[in-house]
Structure 1
């Protein structure tokens, strides 16, 4: 992208106990000229909470709290509340995050009216062991070309299915929950990630997201799949990144892609365009990454070669993409919004695996 500018690191860890290991993967909400940032703060031992800071414009840090605003309170998140994303729907803020207990990782939700007081709503993604998940996937005959075959293969190869404490199967990980900023067809809607692809789910009431709902959902997981890994830079897996941005042409989705390489996994920021009323329909998708690790702060850190996008803001016609850099610090890149949309509109896509 010709207009791409990397603005560098804008937030680093401090000596404060809750963030002395790293700061990364921030949720962002833009309110006029103010950028509210809720970031993952990790302390020694890799236990995470969520810190808060504020920017005037895209880059000028003007406030930073000295204590976490959201922290582990329940068994299912005892090892960390991680990787938040933030969306406002009507008069309520929806902050989704990864609840991690040291073995299992689930998508969880907290809500607020004022960005200060948060009420946790618990886990909203499915909870199935590897065996139960596999059985659900196999309840209908799977062709090799089906997306479900991709899930089965990845499930069988996953390293996250053994609980070293109980010696039982662990749960299948479901991460990267990202809400759309308005209801779609009268329902709350979100993207999430059962490896290695991105799925779409919607509901009328949170109570709808029960075991029966998710069992039926997984039986037909291919019908809920938005994006599958397709290009070389997506050779390992992909995941939803920033909350979708509504445009006249569709939902602009900035997502992350993970590439297998000789130096290990490489994380990129990528872009796609989804249909406004049916986000399962992919209108366009860039064939090359939007932002890739090229700077030292992206290539060397707690995890090397990571650009992990989780929030955006728009200033003066430019889209600012906030991301975790090497799982150590928070950095920003920007592109001309119109150039990005023009590039997407010049590239069509189909929901296929290749």
Structure 2
């Protein structure tokens, strides 16, 4: 089985970053990870890689700085150190606020990386087609693309981050490589919206994973743990979405993902139903352990779960893969975050983010899903 890192921070040429034209501070690549994934008309594969570009010296003169996009360029905002908590290396939290308010010392943008049909070789890095912030609701970055080919179009959902809102945005492409922003489609924090790769009863469908400040308890004898869960929504046009009333996937108490679950790959149609790979998180340290699990949904009613594999992980973080770049690791727990799947005949090609650091490509035989 092929299982390797295909793209790492060292592969990014920051001289071609969209930040370079206006940002007045040195930066480095904190991570090149969580790629949207699809097959192009040529047969080659495309990863839409999240580049988390971080300030090399975020703390200066008693302040921590955040990068922010504006219509006239990128700027740095300074926050006094005595007013923030910097326990998480990826962000800082403002103290003494009635709500949890975060700042980021990095800003994410998306880089299209073209691979050979097997996903084993990088053929081209398309800096000229990078997706960067372009609106006020993206002033802290564009994150975690997921790409679904539906008919002759490619639909890419992204998480847009700003002080205004934490929303889901949609980009559309007619060739799989050039994407145009179509605006906000979910106006609340929802980091894992994945469009099904095909229509159900003539309508678009998507997995969503809304986040909130509070969740309510299941009965004590319920098998479910509560917390963030995967729901299903329906749309006539991929722009206007209505959540379905039936529940979707829920974290179960006796599984390895009792802390929370969330969408991974866009659902693809198989002879047995809609196959989805999703992430489940086990409580450990501050971040938790992220693993990849899978489920099958009914082809005609995707709220009906035909099979749920949440005990034996399909993928786990592999320290051997990141050993050559271990000096760049910054997360305290193992993380694999699967974000794309492509059919390759007798196997699937699966794209993941490894350790929030690099892009991992894994070939998985279809027999594992029997």
Match status 1:187 vs 2:214? no
3-state DSSP of counterpart to 1:340: helix
Aligned match of 1:169 = none
Normalised TM-score (structure 1): 0.74
Q: d(CA) in 1 for partners of 2:193 and 2:239?
A: 17
| 1:327 CA displacement | 0.6
Aligned match of 2:347 = 318
Match status 1:99 vs 2:160? yes
Normalised TM-score (structure 2): 0.71
Aligned match of 2:23 = none
Q: Give CA deviations for 1:48-68 in whole Å, capped at 9, x if unaligned.
A: 111011111221111112355
| 1:33 CA displacement | 3.9
Match status 1:236 vs 2:259? yes
| Superposed counterparts of 1:155-174, under 5 Å | 173-174=189-190
Aligned match of 1:25 = 34
Q: d(CA) in 1 for partners of 2:121 and 2:318?
A: 23
Q: Give CA deviations for 1:237-282 in whole Å, capped at 9, x if unaligned.
A: 1111111111111001011111102575000011100000111000
Q: d(CA) in 1 for partners of 2:202 and 2:318?
A: 42
3-state DSSP of counterpart to 2:209: strand
Q: d(CA) in 1 for partners of 2:182 and 2:319?
A: 38
| 1:224 CA displacement | 4.0
Aligned match of 2:336 = 307
| 1:298 CA displacement | 5.9
Q: Structure 1 residues 67 and 12 mapped into 2: Cα distance closer, same or farther (>3 Å)?
A: farther
| 1:103 CA displacement | 7.3
What 5-or-longer segments of structure 2 have no aligned partner? 18-27, 55-104, 212-227
Confirm or deny: 8 A CA contact 1:72 1:80 kept in the other structure.
yes
Aligned match of 2:44 = 34
Q: d(CA) in 2 for partners of 1:99 and 1:187?
A: 25
Q: Structure 1 residues 317 and 46 mapped into 2: Cα distance closer, same or farther (>3 Å)?
A: same
Aligned match of 2:316 = 292
Which of the residues 6, 11, 15 maps onto 2:7?
11
Q: Structure 1 residues 316 and 188 mapped into 2: Cα distance closer, same or farther (>3 Å)?
A: closer
What 5-or-longer segments of structure 1 have no aligned partner? 128-172, 343-354
Q: d(CA) in 1 for partners of 2:235 and 2:49?
A: 27
Q: Structure 1 residues 183 and 23 mapped into 2: Cα distance closer, same or farther (>3 Å)?
A: same
Confirm or deny: 8 A CA contact 2:146 2:157 kept in the other structure.
yes
Match status 1:257 vs 2:273? no
Confirm or deny: 8 A CA contact 1:76 1:100 kept in the other structure.
yes
| 1:206 CA displacement | 5.1
Aligned match of 1:275 = 298
| 1:333 CA displacement | 2.1
| Superposed counterparts of 1:49-88, under 5 Å | 49-56=109-116, 57-67=118-128, 69-88=130-149
> What's the C-alpha RMSD, in Å, of the aligned pairs?
2.2
